[in-house]
Chains A and B, each alone.
Chain A
Amino acid sequence: MTILFSEQTSEESAAQKPLHPWRKKPRKFTISVALAVVLPFLVVLALLLYSNIPGALVMVIVYLPLQLLAAGITAVYNRGVRSIGDSMIVVLAIGATVFSLVILMSVLLSLVVRGIGALSAHFLYQNSVYINPSTPLEYGGIGHAMVGTFLILLIASIIAVPIGIATAVYITDVRGRAVPYVRFFVQAMSGVPSVVAGLFILTIAVSTGAFNQSAFAGGLAYAILMLPTVARTAEEVLKLVPDDLRTGALALGSTRARVVLQVVIPAARTGIITAILLGIARVIGETAPLLLAAGNNDGTVLNPFDQAVASIPVYIFNNVALPYPDAVTRAWGSALALMILVAVLFTLARVLGRGRVGKY
């Protein structure tokens, strides 16, 4: 078994591999392992095909114990009683991995299968002014929700990105006395539940009367959730900028403000973009704050201050449990669109994050 060598030792594993070159795997070992893998599988296959016990249940109450048993017997047969724990942990670890993957695939597949029917060009740009839940899919769409989500994200970014980067600069470059506290509060802020962020903005709106449910209020709520992500990622990125650049610029006589604005941040620009993208991806699917702070609207709203505004998450929320198949299909379609947006943001962030940080 190669399990003795962890990932960490992979660099040394070339040197370690021939530790027991004399120990050839005996044939009975190969055969018993093969049997331990194949036999439980066959039993389960038979059960799945010829009985009507639900599949997930067969996996949990038949396959898993059977596989554990088989692995245990094989381990005892080959390497003695003490290797039982080993075989169990291998089976359970693979089981947990498969469990997580099955759930992930189930979510993604169901999104594609059920949502693809709703997606069409007009679904992406039309709004829902004359649409009620029973209107067929040929009419209406999430154009208004896309505009609303875009508007809210724009407002949130305008607020959260400069503050987030400034927080990071405070930690990496200004290095004031309060650095540990600032870090602590940023981390504490990242734990604020999204519904509380929405409630907070709503309270301000109600008690001051300065604004009501609008894209602006939604953007404020999103900014609260976005700020910690931007600040923490930007901090990591700014740390990667070599100190030589800073000292070099200072030695040339530039002020600290110039060092940060014209040397450090430009050097880390791809990383900063990654931070912004991750911040957006963090909030784009949040529903509760928008339900409270931004409200809903069937039409396209461009004014960020006056009216309640639609957004993709709230659109999904409102269509999920309706007793009309077309409305539910719309929910799946918009969920698919949202998931694609999230995936694109994450991929972009990954690709940029891999780029050269801290070099010109």
Chain B
Amino acid sequence: MSSLDTNETLRDLHSAATSHRGDRVFNRVITGAAFTSLIVLAGIAIFLGLQAIPAFQSQGLAFLTTTAWDINTDPPTAGIWGMLYGSVLLAVIALVIAVPASILLSVFMVFLAPPKIAKILTNLVDLMAAIPSVILGLWAFYILNPPAEEWQQLLNQYLGWIPIFENASGNFLGTPFIAGFVLAIMMIPIVTSVTREVLGRTPPELINAAESLGCSLWTMLRYVALPYGRGGIVGGVMLGLGRALGETIAVFFVLKLVYDTNWYKVIESGGGSVATLIVSRFGEVTGPFELQLLLAAGFFLFLGTLVVNMIANLIVSRTGRLQK
């Protein structure tokens, strides 16, 4: 659209126009507003970080490395290791389900489906992304739970000798598997929309060349389309991961929160999640000290998601630049 030429003309015109006093004010107002996002991010880090200091003073590093939530004892002990680990475990389960499903779904939309069906599917995936998490939680609690309980029982019955399918309690509800499954459902539309776009941008010349060399769809994907879009796909997965780490309400309904570390037993009742800890403890918070602990937990959740998200955006924007 705009060539270098018009860009330069524009810049000259702009610099001429900024000499006007009203424009200088306008510029300042707009620039100030543009930095709101930075101010908010810094504000979150500072306000929550300040609250984390008393939590650290009372608990020390144990706040991050131990698992406990005994507020009424003297002295109170609290540690969120199990919750941090639980969040990661749920995210890993979600990734294992959502990544292959989303990549296959976008392969179907880009390379297999007729354009009309692909368009309908795109809209449906967007609709899926629009489902509020509280509704997904409601659905999971009443619709997903009964069959999921049955699947997990069968898994345990036939594959129980594999350590991750151990279940000693006989309770198959509130397991990391169900929570991870719900997170996977939230991740699929996010990952799919990025992956679909990236795969759709594979240059047709490359595809045609691969096919004229005798590649089948599978070899074309394996050696052309997936390597070409790898950066974008990884970025999309990381975006979904950021969402999964921060998800609160849907997990709240399907995960039994235990103050213990569930290391690997994905179909054993009980697990952890930082975001869910905050909401579930907030309802019955006992005093300002416990609130501070929750704010400290929120601070670490914020840091974690921020890092994941920033890496994701860097990857996505870098591949975007390469492909131009």
Residues of A at under 8 Å CB distance from B? 3-4, 6-10, 12, 54, 56-57, 82-83, 85-86, 88-90, 92-97, 99-101, 103-104, 106-107, 110-111, 114, 162-163, 166-167, 169-171, 174-176, 178, 181-182, 184-197, 199-200, 202-204, 206-207, 224, 227-228, 231, 242-243, 246-247, 250-251, 255-257, 259-260, 281, 284-288, 291-292, 313, 316-317, 320-321, 328, 331-332, 335, 338-339, 342-343, 346, 350
Contacts and interface: CB of A to CB of B under 8 A. Distances in A.
B64 interface: no
A110 B140 CA distance: 11
A9 B304 CA distance: 41
Interface in B142-175: 142-143, 147, 150-151, 154
A257 B24 CA distance: 9
Contacts of B41: 185, 188-189, 192
A338 B135 contact: yes
Nearest to A92: B104
Contacts of A192: 41, 44, 246, 302, 305-306
B217 A107 contact: no
A181 B306 CA distance: 15
Nearest to A90: B112
Given A104-B124, A166-B34, A292-B282, A342 B305 contact: no
Contact of B51 (A4, A12, A191, A203): A203
B115 A171 contact: no
* Most chain A beta carbons < 10 A, residue from B104, B121, B138: B138
Interface string B11-40: 101101110101101110111011111101
B221 A89 contact: yes
B126 A285 contact: no
A343 B130 contact: yes
7 contacts: A163-B33, A196-B48, A199-B294, A255-B22, A256-B17, A257-B22, A285-B131
Given A174-B30, A174-B31, A291-B282, A256 B302 contact: no
Contacts of A175: 11, 14
Nearest to B302: A196
B199 to A, nearest CB: 9
B96 interface: no
B33 A316 contact: no
B31 A170 contact: yes
Interface string B299-324: 00110011011101100000000000
Contacts of A187: 309, 313
* Most chain B beta carbons < 10 A, residue from A82, A199, A286, A321: A199
B121 to A, nearest CB: 7
B27 A7 contact: no
Contacts of B310: 184, 188, 191
Given A9-B208, A291-B282, A89 B118 contact: no
Given A88-B218, A163-B33, A320-B141, A224 B40 contact: yes
Contacts, number: 314
Contacts of B130: 281, 342-343, 346
Interface of B: 1-2, 6, 9-11, 13-14, 16-18, 20, 22-23, 25-27, 29-31, 33-38, 40-41, 43-44, 47-48, 51, 100-102, 104-105, 107-113, 115, 118, 121, 123-128, 130-139, 141-143, 147, 150-151, 154, 185, 188, 192, 200, 202, 204, 207-208, 211, 216-219, 221-222, 239, 242-243, 245-249, 253, 275, 278-279, 282-283, 291, 294-295, 298, 301-302, 305-306, 308-310, 312-313
Given A7-B111, A89-B221, A104-B127, A96 B154 contact: no
Given A175-B11, A255-B22, 20 more contacts: A3-B111, A7-B115, A8-B202, A9-B208, A57-B151, A86-B216, A97-B108, A167-B34, A167-B36, A174-B31, A182-B35, A182-B37, A192-B44, A199-B294, A200-B43, A203-B47, A247-B9, A256-B20, A285-B135, A339-B132
B135 A335 contact: yes
B147 A54 contact: yes
Nearest to A246: B10
Q: For the complex, would chain B's binding face be called helix, strand, loop or mixed by DSSP majority?
A: helix
Contacts of A247: 6, 9-10, 13
Contacts of B35: 178, 182, 185
A281 B130 CA distance: 8
A317 B249 contact: yes
B298 A199 contact: yes
Contacts of B275: 193, 195, 288
B151 A193 contact: no
Contact of B27 (A174, A231, A251, A320): A174
A191 B138 CA distance: 24
B121 A97 contact: yes
Contact of B125 (A100, A246, A292): A100
A184 B313 contact: yes
- Rank and list the top 6 A-B pairs by shortest CB-CB distance, nearest first: A285-B132, A193-B246, A191-B309, A85-B218, A166-B33, A170-B34
B191 to A, nearest CB: 11
Nearest to A251: B13
Nearest to B218: A85
Nearest to B29: A166
Contacts of B253: 320-321
Contacts of B151: 54, 56-57
A204 to B, nearest CB: 6
Nearest to B124: A104
Contact of A188 (B22, B43, B48, B306): B306
A185 B242 CA distance: 15
Contacts of B121: 97
A256 B14 contact: yes
A104 B185 CA distance: 9
A94 B109 CA distance: 10
A280 to B, nearest CB: 11
B113 to A, nearest CB: 8
B235 to A, nearest CB: 11
* Most chain A beta carbons < 10 A, residue from B127, B134, B150: B134
B1 A243 contact: yes
